[in-house]
Amino acid sequence: MSRYQSVFKDETKLDINYIPHRLPHRDKELRLLMEFFSFMLQFPEKMAQRVLITGDIGTGKTVLAQRFGAEITREASKRSISIRYVHVNCREYRGSLLLILQHIVSDFHPNFPKRGYSAEELLRNLIQMLDEEKAYVILTLDEFDSLIEREGSDAVYKLTRMQEGRQNKPQRLSLICILRSLGSIAHLDESTRSTLQSNIINLKKYSKEQLTDILNDRVAVAFKPSTVPEDTVDLTAEIAYSENGNARFGIELLWRAGKYSDAEDLSSVAPECVRQAFSSIIAIVRKSDLASLNFHAKLFLLGMTRIFKESQKANASLVEAEKAYAIVCEEFSVRPNSHTQLWKYLQDLSTTGILKTEVPGTGSRGRSTLIYFQVSTEELGNELKTVLEKGGA
């Protein structure tokens, strides 16, 4: 029997498929998306909409669209309007319009034959089904890039122009296309591009502060109270920001850190759990990296790992690092190098990805510099000790 129970309250809240009720720092984009489709809550048969959502990995494109889907279908239900939201990842269907449409049609009619129909015929059948049910669909094509790469303008043209031949009939199908950048649609012919580029929502990379807000929201619903210290969230946000502001990466890292905490029967998720989790995802520190370091750089690094091992802190100041380095130098009977040289070591170590530095406020360079480790300091310290004991000067 474990001494401590799990730190998790509901770890499914950290799953990639979880759709949170609140989207920190995406409120504006959600309101804009609702505005683009507001006609569907009043005159859904009058028009169809097409919207592009762009942004790098982890900027919240998918969850924004899914949150919108939940919101608009709920509002439509209140007004007795039948709107279905269908979210399809094009890459899962190998970028094939035929396979995508087979999936959508089977969602409406599970017994519909999967063979014998072209993509165009399936699209006509889908519209006919919607006519019969007096329903409307908002189809979100996630990773839209893969559909373009495989089938080019022809598939997109079918999706966007199919309803133009239905004059004086209800417009049943609207589109949301999710892709990383508009560069992907540059390969489409001009007439097809023109049908897509009228409404664009571009999601910017999250800042570290925004990532902290997002992670705090998830901590509140996924973990038991007081099990995830502020330092742990800050370190996770720092690492996620260094990974191109990837919120998805930060959430997964937090889940892995919780698992490391549970595995060691800890009562809380310590910053070292985050570093261990990150080391398990990305093997940054290789033995060759350590072997190539200057002898005093190794001593400096060893001293810093001891700070984190003893205090369980998320960061340390350069002043603390210098003191720890001086103690290690005494142990190895060598004279410490100057502050200027240590500053150079710190910059070199930062470029390797072993650690990160931040200057949060004003003041002298040394006193205001904070040092974060992204990898497990315990594992790093053990490896450094082994290298130094073998005479790794």
Q: How far is CA 324 from CA 24, 142, 230, in A?
A: 39, 50, 25
Residue 32 DSSP one-character state: H
The C-alpha atoms of residue 383 and residue 293 are separated, in whole angstroms, by 13
Containing 137, the helix (H) or strand (E) segment is strand 136-142
Q: Which is it for strands 315-317 and 370-373: parallel, antiparallel or unpaired?
A: antiparallel
**Longest CA pairwise span in the chain (Å):** 89
Q: Which residue has the higher pLDDT, 269 or 3?
A: 269
What integer is the mean pLDDT of 281-309?
A: 79
Residues 267-271, mean pLDDT to the nearest whole number: 95
pLDDT at 229: 96
Report d(CA 40, CA 46) in Å as an integer. 8
How high is the pLDDT of residue 5?
A: 87
Greater pLDDT, 6 or 354 = 6
* Strand pairing class (200-202; 315-317): unpaired
pLDDT band at 312; cut points 50, 70, 90: confident
Average pLDDT of 291-313?
A: 86
Q: Average the pLDDT over 17-40 and give the result.
A: 96
Neighbours of 31 (CB within 10 A): 11
Task: Report pLDDT digits (tens) over 242-255.
Answer: 888 999 999 999 99
The whole-number pLDDT of residue 392 equals 53
Under 8 Å between Cβ of 301 and 321:
no
Cβ burial of 280 (10 Å; 0-12, 13-18, 19+) is: middle
* The pLDDT of residue 106 is above 50: yes
Alpha-carbon gap, residue 49 to 36, rounded angstroms: 8
Q: What tokens appear for 376 in the block?
A: 């497990």
The per-residue pLDDT for 2 is 46
For residue 267, name the pLDDT band (cuts at 50, 70, 90): very high
pLDDT score at 4: 55
For residue 207, pLDDT over 90 is answered with yes
- Residue 270 pLDDT greater than 80, yes or no: yes
Reply yes or no on whether the pLDDT at 283 is more than 60.
no
The span from the CA of 126 to the CA of 105, in Å, is 6
Q: Which of 291-295, 360-364, 371-375, 387-391 has the lowest mean pLDDT?
A: 360-364
Question: DSSP string spanning 304-373?
Answer: HHHHHHHH--SEEEHHHHHHHHHHHHHHTT-PPPPHHHHHHHHHHHHHHTSEEEE--SSS-HHHH-EEEE
Indicate whether 140 pLDDT > 70. Answer: yes
Band of residue 363 on the pLDDT scale cut at 50, 70, 90: very low
202 pLDDT band (50/70/90 cuts)?
Answer: very high
Rg for the chain, CA atoms, rounded: 27
* Mean pLDDT score, 197-204: 90
DSSP-derived letter for residue 375 is: S
Domains of the chain (ranges, CATH numbers): 27-202 (3.40.50.300), 206-281 (1.10.8.60), 287-389 (1.10.10.10)
Task: Say how far apart CA 242 and CA 234 lie, in whole Å.
Answer: 12
pLDDT at 391: 64
Q: What is the mean pLDDT of the chain?
A: 88
Please say if the pLDDT value at position 200 is more than 70: yes
244 Rama sector, left if φ>0, alpha if ψ -120 to 50, beta otherwise: left
Residues in contact with 144: Cβ distance below 8 Å, sequence separation at least 6, in sequence order: 90, 177, 178, 179, 184
Taking the alpha carbons at both ends of the chain, their separation in whole angstroms is: 46
Q: Compute the distance between CA of residue 144 and CA of residue 39 in angstroms, rounded to an integer.
A: 24
Task: Give me the pLDDT at residue 364, please.
Answer: 44
pLDDT for the residue numbered 182: 87
